[in-house]
Structure 1
């Protein structure tokens, strides 16, 4: 299983797309399941917002970071809680990172659903229709969080 740090920062047109998807989610538009994740910055203390796809799989809800060890991932690791929103619906959630050995089926389902959208952000050597061996090999470089209600 790969344990290297993978990170693909948004650049160029990605920033325009992210702003557009955030705006649509803010206005209640369900674009391929996108919601906004707001998490407190671990250094600045300021709220940071990013569009995410919430995966419903095997009785749970998950956030997957195909870009790898992103700023929102690092902020969630530090904060443990965040807010998910679309339109007027806002939910404070607890986010717990899933162990790498439990990630492959979650990542596989995420790619089945959104691979067309996120394929270019994946670690090198992992395509949008990976084998079980490929998923296991790359699971350590794609953070996954289980979503639970915050208490």
Structure 2
């Protein structure tokens, strides 16, 4: 059974540190700071995310399930990705199961730290990833406007 994600004090601290490092352009290569307006407050919320890229297409994967950033992104349909002073405005759509399954397979292979949160392994077949998809939302980046570096 997959581990359950809990956003405790330690995880919040790590997310803040990672966010600060991403602002400096440091951190894992595919990791960005996602900023999305809160679905109720409208206040901007940020969290580190790992972007999956393949053949020019890009996706955001929710390894911990339907956490706050997922609900906020579903509502807003847009946000920003930033790293090292570069900001990119994005719009997204939630991927259907058949599109999400191969993306989840790539994610589990590329981001091993999140494997405990999945009931599949790198050896699982695509049907197993289809079954897993409803528990791990995937968003396709539909449009992106690459911004210029912040001053």
Report the TM-score range of the alignment, normalised by the length of the smaller protein.
0.7 to 0.9
Q: Which residue of 2 aligns with 1:120?
A: 116
Q: Per the alignment, in what secondary structure is the counterpart of residue 18 of structure 1?
A: helix
Aligned equivalent of 1:3:
none
The equivalent position to 1:106 in structure 2, one of 103, 111, 123, is 103
Instruction: For 1:134 and 1:17, locate their aligned partners in 2 and report how far apart those are by CA, in whole Å.
Output: 31
1:143 aligns with 2:120: no
Please give the alpha-carbon distance, in whole angstroms, between the structure 1 residues aligned to 2:94 and 2:19: 24
* Change beyond 3 A, Cα 1:10–1:32: farther
RMSD: 2.0
CA distance in structure 2 between the partners assigned to 1:81 and 1:9 by the alignment: 25
> Quick one: distance in 2 between partners of 1:70 and 1:129?
26
Gaps of 5+ in 1: 1-6
Q: 1:18 aligns with which of 15, 19, 30?
A: 15
Q: Tell me if the contact between 1:98 and 1:144 (Cα under 8 Å) persists in the aligned partners.
A: yes
Partner of 1:27: 24
**Structural mapping, 1:1-151, within 5 Å:** 8-114=5-111, 116-122=112-118, 125-149=119-143
Matched position secondary structure for 1:103: helix
Unaligned runs of 5+ in 2: 146-151
Matched length: 143
Using the TM superposition, give the Cα deviation of residue 140 of structure 1 relative to its aligned residue in structure 2, in angstroms: 1.4
Q: Contact 1:126/1:138 (CA < 8 Å) preserved in 2?
A: yes
